[in-house]
Amino acid sequence: MAIAKKKSSAKTAPVAKNSVTLHGIVPYVLKPKEEYMNENQLNHFKLILHAWRNELMEEVDRTVTHMKDEAANFPDPADRATQEEEFSLELRTRDRERKLIKKIDKTLVRVEEDDYGYCDQCGVEIGIRRLEARPTAELCIDCKTLDEIKEKQITGG
């Protein structure tokens, strides 16, 4: 397999050509007997969280610009309704992203306080790969699975 260097402002490691990046950042390469949540790992997740947050903020800016540029008072009620529905869907999406930005900010605080990477319920390591899949994860896979099972039992879903 050919090895290529991924260009980024972050420190990069050699990765396979078809390797998936996380918000433009190469997945972390674990070293043998490396301590969990050491400085390199914490910096890696800070980069991911900041890049993700920046992507979301850019989307907010694009939405504002789009809504300003596209806003029109159509004489046809159907056209007006279509535009209002489009704007409504866009605003709903941005609202979800706004909540996600708050969660990212909360996670960045956890990183700074050295509380990142450990399950809130049982205290075990969440794991590098799970955190790369969901950098804002607060529960290990076992606790998250139990929470989902309990939720299904309560809601009947």
Q: Where are the domains of the chain?
A: 42-155
**Degrees to nearest 5, angle at CA 101 with 129 and 97:** 100
Question: Would you state the pLDDT for residue 5?
Answer: 33
Query: In angstroms, rounded to a whole number, what is the distance separating the alpha carbons of residues 105 and 82?
Result: 35
CATH class of 42-155: mainly alpha
Question: Would you state the pLDDT for residue 63?
Answer: 86
Sign for the pseudo-dihedral over CA of 101, 103, 106, 111: negative
pLDDT averaged over 10-residue windows placed end to end, the chain, 157 residues: 36 47 87 95 97 94 82 82 89 93 98 96 96 96 96 87
Question: Would you state the pLDDT for residue 17?
Answer: 46
Question: Would you state the pLDDT for residue 20?
Answer: 66
Predicted TM-score of the model (pTM): 0.78
Scored b (16 or more CB within 10 A) or e, 94-129 reads beebeeebeebeebbebbeeeebbbbeeeeeebebe
Residue with tokens 């800016």: 61
Per DSSP, the chain holds a count of helices (H) and strands (E) of 4, 2
Question: Would you state the pLDDT for residue 15?
Answer: 43
